[in-house]
Amino acid sequence: MSQHLLRPAAFLLLAMAACQPSGRNDRKAAEVFGPHSITAGSGMMTPEILWSFGRISDVQVSPDGKHILYGVSYYDIPSNRSNRELYIMDTDGGNKRRLTRTPEGEYNARWRPDGQKIGYISHASGSGQLWEMNPDGSGPVMITDVEGGITGFAYSPDQTHILFTRQVKLDKTTQDIHPDLPQASGRIIDDLMYRHWDHWIDDYSHIFVAAYQNGKITDPVDIMEGEKWDSPVRPFGGMEQICWSPDGKTIAYTSKKLTGRDYTLSTNADIYLYELEKGTTRNLTEGMNGNDAAPVFSPDGRYLAWESMERDGYESDLVRLFLADLETGEKIFLTEGFEQNVHGLTFTPGGSEIYFISNHRGTDEIYRIHTHSGHMSRITRGVHNYTSVTPVNEFLVATRQSMSKPEEIYRVDPGTGEATEISFENRHILGQLTMGRVESRWITTTDNKQMLVWVIYPPHFDESKTYPALLYCQGGPQSTVSQFWSYRWNFQMMAANGYIVVAPNRRGLPGFGTEWNEQISGDYGGQNMQDLLRAIDVVAEEPWVDKNRLGAVGASYGGYSVYWLAGNHEKRFKAFIAHDGMFNFESQYLETEEMWFPNRDFGGPFWEENNPVVERSYAASPHRFVENWDTPILVIHGERDYRVTIAQGISAFNAARLQDIPARFLYFPDENHWVLTPQNGILWQRTFFDWLDRWLKDEG
């Protein structure tokens, strides 16, 4: 069995560095790594190094526009946990300093509107509570003492109130019904949506509003009292789904006010306006049947912008920018004719323009649109993904990542799009690594269309040699193969292990127009599979690719793609890896919890008759081709994945072994649709490359 590119000494040095305070300079980095660390620019990515990067998140600009507040998470491999601390720096990147040093971690940090305090959530008291400190990190004081803790908060702009979110128990448990059975573990279930993604539905996220004065809150009120629905909307919604009006009199929030069977069949979330003085709530988007979310008020309070999908039951519908005139009631489809998704809306201080992030042909860029004329400008261009943007005076503060670099903070010129990095959180690690070259190619598909394919080369690539290649199959199914940085599906990690990575933007991905994005629905085994095969076939013609050492890997829909290819690849591949993939569509339909998804993408339930979309969809289920399987396969699945249940992975593994096909099953009892803990993440990487090396190198 071949050896991975392991450098134990470098592992230890980089892991040690990850535990050190952020904001280090080059001299400090040299002290940490010492003279025996990797020579600058010569090291290779490893799982341990990957889990040593600092993860920047939740960037907040001070009210005066002079400072940036942000958090950084570092993972400690031996303790198998992370810790997040808060940092501050000037908007030009200067005067960087650490504000907190605690073992509990700090989250959801926000500037108080007057800029005199920073509020944040800490678990120092045992549950998540709101704390405040001075902008220099001194004088931390706990502000709330809410039973069970809070999950998010926001100051009102006039600083007279604070809203916070917390979990509220509204359903009866088995013990409530049968108090004489205190140790009974059974659940009594009468309707659908009893669990979601990775947790059972035991409570609901509600918004509370409390008076705030002199660093104290009083008289909290549940503005959703008795309602069995959430805000933010589970499972991925955060405080971006809730906001204050500039005058502090109104709260706009996102909620999907449905339950049970209705909830699992619908994607229809709405924007609600709660008036503090009246205690009343109205549905701003009533009659708009898709997912409406992430409201943002204009600085003068007259307009509300939000992200809107048109069709109910379609989770990958085009995300449009809508604008409501709150004085006239008019709703404006501001990005009409723009066939790209919009995310992260932010008004300019004057309110005449909105900045947002949108994917265009494999990269996520910053755009600007005028609120009255609808005139739109693309601000940035490059091989990267922007993930957030905030206009500040004459410049933008933004976060950016790529396949070769984790997220950092940048200062962007809105006129030229020129970006200057200011955080440098991971310079001490990146300076010791050699990254593989990332190349974009346009390949002609089998139906004569143009498809963007990313090709990632091993570091120190030599055209005179031949390399094994991996076809990366994207999940979603409708999520772009953009310039994302992943802590699991990391292309530079694959390249560092000696593999050429072929990552196609196959049919069914956004950023290439509505037709390209929507073609996949009802055609899972069709054109998108031909796109995948076409991509690897074209790249495999290169003299530096060994056609006899090709593998295919992917997760979720990418896992389904691998299972499907295993029965339809005509001996192209020598190894497969599928993580949390769909194997049997008929059982998947009844096992999953978000029923709107298979209803849209499969066309409906498998028992529906005289429906050609249904017939075509279920005919493309991988289990129908399992008799054609002849290639070694690694199956990975998490027990807590309720979106694609563990039964799918077990079935695929059993099918392979019953046919005497070499197979391995990597089972995680405590992971969900992802792998989130460092030791499991490293185990994932080691097993991943051990399998590939065995079949694409040792047997090559």
Q: 10 Å Cβ neighbour count for 93? A: 16
Q: Is 137 left (phi over 0), alpha (psi -120 to 50) or beta?
A: left
DSSP state of 697: I
User: What per-residue confidence (pLDDT) applies to 16?
Assistant: 34
Tens-digit pLDDT profile for residues 30-78: 222 222 233 345 589 999 999 999 999 999 999 999 999 999 999 999 9
User: What per-residue confidence (pLDDT) applies to 11?
Assistant: 32
* C-alpha closest to that of 565 among 583, 549, 543, 547: 583
With H, G, I as helix, E, B as strand and everything else as coil, classify residue 368: strand
- Please say whether the beta carbons of 80 and 523 come within 8 A: no
Using the predicted structure, report yes or no on whether residue 7 has a pLDDT greater than 90: no
Tens-digit pLDDT profile for residues 208-229: 999 999 899 999 999 999 999 9
Phi, psi angles (nearest 5°) of residue 229 = -150, 175
Residue 336's alpha-carbon distances to 333, 341, 430, 456, 519, in angstroms, are 6, 11, 41, 36, 21
* C-alpha closest to that of 300 among 321, 325, 334, 276: 325
* C-alpha closest to that of 86 among 103, 109, 64, 67: 109
* Identified catalytic residue from 317, 601, 641, 693: 641
Tens-digit pLDDT profile for residues 65-91: 999 999 999 999 999 999 999 999 999
Amino acid of residue 81: R
Using the predicted structure, report yes or no on whether residue 167 has a pLDDT greater than 70: yes
Q: Helix, strand, coil: what percent of the chain each, to 5?
A: 20, 30, 50
With H, G, I as helix, E, B as strand and everything else as coil, classify residue 404: coil
* C-alpha closest to that of 412 among 381, 383, 377: 381
Tens-digit pLDDT profile for residues 319-343: 999 999 999 999 999 999 999 999 9
With H, G, I as helix, E, B as strand and everything else as coil, classify residue 265: helix
Tens-digit pLDDT profile for residues 244-265: 999 999 999 999 999 999 999 9
* Identified catalytic residue from 479, 556, 617, 621: 556
Tens-digit pLDDT profile for residues 557-609: 999 999 999 999 999 999 999 999 999 999 999 999 999 999 999 999 999 99
Tens-digit pLDDT profile for residues 89-121: 999 999 999 999 999 999 999 999 999 999 999
The three state secondary structure string of 138-188 is: CCCEECCCCCCCCCEEEECCCCCEEEEEEEECCCCCHHHHCCCCCCCCCCC
> What average pLDDT does the structure give for the chain?
93
CA distance 250 to 303: 13
Which secondary structure element, helix H or strand E, spans residue 693, and what is its range? helix 678-693
* C-alpha closest to that of 472 among 509, 435, 434: 509
Active site residue 580: no
Q: Angle CA(61)–CA(57)–CA(204) in degrees, nearest 5?
A: 100
Average pLDDT estimate for 402-421: 98
* C-alpha closest to that of 541 among 430, 603, 453: 453
pTM of the predicted model as reported, rounded to 2 decimal places:
0.93
Average pLDDT estimate for 479-503: 97
Q: Where are the alpha helices (DSSP H) in 594-645?
A: 596-601, 612-619
Using the predicted structure, report yes or no on whether residue 450 has a pLDDT greater than 90: yes
CA distance 153 to 140: 17
* Identified catalytic residue from 67, 206, 623, 673: 673
Amino acid of residue 298: S
Taken as a whole, the chain contains a residue count of: 700
323-330 — which CB contacts under 8 Å span 24+ positions? 323/371, 324/284, 326/301, 326/302, 327/302
CA distance 551 to 572: 8
* C-alpha closest to that of 633 among 561, 535, 584: 561
Q: Go through the domains of the chain in sequence order and give each one's CATH number.
A: 1-53 (no CATH), 438-586+631-698 (3.40.50.1820)
- Which positions ≥6 away from 126 have C-beta within 8 Å? none
CA distance 115 to 60: 12
Active site residue 384: no
515-518 — which CB contacts under 8 Å span 24+ positions? 516/449, 517/316, 517/318, 517/478
Active site residue 67: no
CA distance 456 to 258: 45
User: What per-residue confidence (pLDDT) applies to 699?
Assistant: 52
User: What per-residue confidence (pLDDT) applies to 698?
Assistant: 78
